[in-house]
Amino acid sequence: MAASKASRLGEEYETPKAAPPPAPVRPRLTLDFPRDRIWKTRIEKVNAELVVLTYGTIVAQLCKDFDSDYVEVNKQLDKMGYNIGLRLIEDYLAKSNTMRRCSNFRETAEMVAKVGFKIFLNITPTITNWTSDSKQFSLVFDENPFADFVELPDDNRAQDELWYSNILCGVLRGALEMVQMQVEAHFISDVLRGNDTTEMRVSLIRYIDDELPPEDD
Amino acid sequence: MSHLAAGKTAGAKEAAGLRYPSNGKTIYHRPLNRTKTAELSQSSFAYLFSEMVTYAQRRVTGIQELEKRLNLQGHPIGLKLLDLLLIREPARSQTRPLNIISLLHFIKINIWQHLFGRQADRLEKSSNPDTPDEYMIVDNEPLVNAYVSVPREMSQLNCAAFVAGIIEGVCDGAAFPARVTAHSVGGKEEGEMWPGKTVFLVKFQPEVLEREALIGRA
Amino acid sequence: MSYYFAVIGTQDNPLFEYEFGTSKQGGDGQLRFSDQVRHLNQFVLHSSLDIVEEIQWTNGQLYLKAMDKFFNSYISCFITGGNVKFLLLHQPPGANSSNVIGGVGGIAATTTRSTSIGANPTSPQTEEAVKNFFTEVYDNYVKAIMSPFYKANMEIKSPVFRSRVAAAGRKYL
């Protein structure tokens, strides 16, 4: 089993500050390498349904633990995602083989959508709806493997309150923080809620100074 | 009969129920087999699984309780896979397991192959005459354990309890109620060849054996 | 020809119910059960669960065909992997619950197209049609239970599921 040890139990969860500092070598990102080849040859894979069902059981358990307080469930999912994001970036840099730092936020968006999501979820969300200052964009998900088998609870609340895939917001936030970008991410629509699209809004808050340790949430 | 009538009134409120996208992106509009052979990155699973374990860990007081919780999280997956894999069988082999052996074969072959890309390594019946209700499914190297390194103070923990829960879900769903637990046996036998070797102990409820005996006589 | 379809959970609890009329042989899909018959149908269907339990451990097929008959009502059964039962009660045309003594023979004799789906509940054509109906419902049922929010023996409330069952009924029955 060549899989990496993704976590050490009980060590890093409570204290995200203890996560390893950003790699000293500046990540150098280029946009023209063959993404499909990376997916086909460099990514160890598992059955998608194992992942999807595992995510489903996590969300269902959170809903149970928090007594269907969906706002709290969203927060918990975001938190889990954040923890994942902090660890995932190293994996991302290794797999994408990118060494150059993104020169601007637009380039970052490209890398997130076309490399990050491709590597981890084998999807490529569409980047759209940039603000004129290039600090905010949307990711529109035509495909979302997490939502494949899902119908939200028919309790007159879930479709207004639960963001089923909210873990992805946290992942983005955590991962970009590790490369010195403080971002905010949240879903603004979801086909599971009856919307016609699934759309995540991502905003750059600021670039984190190199001298400072990564911000805790 | 009153409960059937109750089911009817519940049906009447449906008009106010869920909203669906106009483009028909719901589970009902996608073929079930769409993701049958789809793949995702192993690390995605690794991250999710370890977050699940870490989260569960914060809500329990001991290892036993943690394993119980992982078991509970796997259980609904087993219930779902039972029908999902059955409906994907070719029509002629689409049969419900009617005895313990066919059920355990379904788990060892179909469930394992689907989730982990290979069959489980071995299937054994307890050789102890006092426990004819116990069976063992052996996995030399459970995939789920490849992702979590357990701290020394928790060395008793076997995260394959999650998989035990999946197995238990399959058994319960197929009407072979059982308790399934995961036990690390690596290093205790066969040297260190399979340090992560795990035995899933399947202990069926008495009524399962009683029914089996009845069917055998018929 | 009218049909009463129910999904019954493992605790013999109803998870879903749907009544409809035939769309074959010029049928308009409208239900022809009187209120009295509708009530009786629920009882008949429920009583047939005992028979299902008798045969479910000797026959591993999902589709158990017409396995019970109560006067002029036939009950076809399909069992899922998770031991949830799909039951379909069908009553051939001309029959109604007040006509119990006439029985099946009478119907067959007076029906010109005795092999048609509506007329003869035990003909191979009908068996095949019911099988196709069940198979399509099963596909949608598995989709319903795949949701992480679906727990065993929960009522299936999805309106999309209901419309899919209705469509399967129109298509095959």
Residue B36, in any domain of the structure? no
Residue B117, in any domain of the structure? yes
The two three-digit tokens of residue B95, written as one number: 């049969």
C147, A150 Cβ separation under 8 angstroms: yes
Q: What is the pLDDT of residue B114?
A: 95
Assess whether B10 and B87 both reside in one domain: no
CA distance B74 to C10: 20
The verdict on A152 touching C (C-beta cutoff 8 Å) is yes
Residue B198, in any domain of the structure? yes
* Ordered structural domains, chain C, with CATH: 2-172 (3.30.450.70)
Residue B47, in any domain of the structure? yes
Q: How many beta-carbon pairs under 8 angstroms link B with C?
A: 104
CA distance B120 to B52: 24
More confident residue, C26 or A88: A88
Mean pLDDT, range C132-154, rounded to an integer: 96
The verdict on A9 touching B (C-beta cutoff 8 Å) is yes
Between the two ends of chain A, the Cα-to-Cα distance in Å is 34
Cβ burial B149-158 (10 Å sphere, 16+ → b, else e):
ebeeeeeebb
* pLDDT tens-place string over residues C88-110: 998 876 644 443 333 344 344 34
Tell me the CA distances in angstroms from A196 to A117, B30, B181, one per residue in order: 21, 15, 43
Assess whether B20 and B98 both reside in one domain: no
Which range has the worst mean pLDDT, A4-18, A106-120, B118-132, C26-40? A4-18
In the block, residue with structure tokens 């209705």: C166
Q: What is the pLDDT of residue A216?
A: 56
* Ordered structural domains, chain A, with CATH: 35-207 (3.30.1380.20)
Assess whether B103 and B3 both reside in one domain: no
Assess whether B26 and B51 both reside in one domain: no
In the block, residue with structure tokens 């989709």: C143
Q: What is the pLDDT of residue A130?
A: 97
* pLDDT tens-place string over residues B152-209: 777 788 899 999 999 999 999 999 999 999 999 876 665 668 888 999 999 999 999 9
Quote the number of domains for chain B.
2
Q: What is the pLDDT of residue C118?
A: 61
Q: Do B1 and C46 touch (CB under 8 A)?
A: yes
Domain that holds residue B10: 1-30
Q: List alpha helices for A32-188, DSSP H.
A: 35-41, 48-65, 70-96, 105-111, 117-121, 158-161, 167-178
- pLDDT at residue C115 greater than cutoff 70: no
Q: List alpha helices for chain C, DSSP H.
A: 35-47, 49-55, 103-110, 124-146, 159-172
Residue B145, in any domain of the structure? yes
Rounded to a whole number, what is the distance in Å from the CA of B19 to chain C's nearest CA?
10
Q: Which amino acid is at B73?
A: Q
In the block, residue with structure tokens 């349904």: A49
Assess whether B115 and B192 both reside in one domain: yes
Q: What is the pLDDT of residue B188?
A: 62
Assess whether B160 and B192 both reside in one domain: yes
Residue B35, in any domain of the structure? no
The dihedral region occupied by B34, where left means phi > 0, alpha psi between -120 and 50, and beta the remainder, is alpha
CA distance A123 to A115: 9
- Looking up residue B115, the CATH number of its domain turns out to be 3.30.1380.20
Assess whether B74 and B97 both reside in one domain: yes
Which range has the worst mean pLDDT, A167-181, B6-20, C48-62? B6-20
> Among B65, B47, B44, B43, which Cα is nearest to B56's?
B65
A70, A162 Cβ separation under 8 angstroms: yes
- pLDDT at residue C28 greater than cutoff 70: yes
In the block, residue with structure tokens 């089911």: B7
Assess whether B12 and B93 both reside in one domain: no
Assess whether B20 and B128 both reside in one domain: no
Q: What is the pLDDT of residue B5?
A: 41
More confident residue, C119 or C162: C162
Q: Scan residues 114-173 of A and list those with Cβ closer than 8 Å to B.
A: 119-122, 145, 148-152, 154, 156, 159, 167
Cβ burial C44-76 (10 Å sphere, 16+ → b, else e):
bbbebbeebeeebbebeebbbbbbbbbbbbbbb
The two three-digit tokens of residue C16, written as one number: 């879903």
Q: What is the pLDDT of residue B192?
A: 67
pLDDT band at C147 (very low <50, low <70, confident <90, very high): very high
* Mutation to test the A interface, candidates B44, B58, B70, most A Cβ within 10 Å: B44
CA distance A131 to A135: 6
Between the two ends of chain B, the Cα-to-Cα distance in Å is 33
Handedness of CA A93, A94, A96, A97 (dihedral sign): positive
Assess whether B24 and B111 both reside in one domain: no
More confident residue, A130 or C114: A130
* pLDDT tens-digit profile, chain A (217 residues): 434 444 444 333 443 444 444 444 444 444 444 556 666 777 788 999 999 999 999 999 999 999 999 999 999 999 999 999 999 888 888 777 666 677 899 999 999 999 899 988 999 999 999 999 999 999 999 999 999 999 999 999 999 999 999 999 999 999 999 988 999 999 999 999 999 999 999 999 999 876 555 555 5
Q: What is the pLDDT of residue C41?
A: 84
Q: What is the pLDDT of residue C116?
A: 61
The two three-digit tokens of residue B145, written as one number: 């354990």
B95, B188 Cβ separation under 8 angstroms: no
- pLDDT at residue B108 greater than cutoff 70: yes
List all chains that touch chain B, counting a touch as 3 or more CB pairs closer than 8 Å. A, C
Tell me, yes or no, if the pTM score tops 0.90.
no
C171, C135 Cβ separation under 8 angstroms: no
Residue B61, in any domain of the structure? yes
- pLDDT at residue B23 greater than cutoff 50: yes
A47 phi and psi angles, rounded to 5 deg: -60, 130
Rounded to a whole number, what is the distance in Å from the CA of B97 to chain A's nearest CA?
23
More confident residue, B88 or B151: B88
The verdict on C43 touching A (C-beta cutoff 8 Å) is no
CA distance C86 to C7: 5
B126, B135 Cβ separation under 8 angstroms: yes
Tell me the CA distances in angstroms from C10 to B41, B152, B174, C14, C152, one per residue in order: 37, 43, 10, 9, 8
Residue B100, in any domain of the structure? yes
Of A45, A156, A159, the CB nearest to B39: A45
Q: What is the ipTM of this complex?
A: 0.90
Assess whether B66 and B97 both reside in one domain: yes
C17 CB-near residues (< 8 Å, 6+ apart)? B4, B7, B8, B11, C4, C5, C6, C7
Helix (H, G, I), strand (E, B) or coil at C6: strand
CA distance B107 to B98: 13
CA distance A187 to A113: 15
DSSP single-letter state for residue B110: I
Q: What is the pLDDT of residue C167?
A: 95
The verdict on A145 touching C (C-beta cutoff 8 Å) is no
C61 phi and psi angles, rounded to 5 deg: -65, 150
Q: What is the pLDDT of residue B18?
A: 86
The two three-digit tokens of residue B65, written as one number: 């309780």
Assess whether B106 and B13 both reside in one domain: no
Give bridge partners of residue B73 from the DSSP assignment.
Answer: none
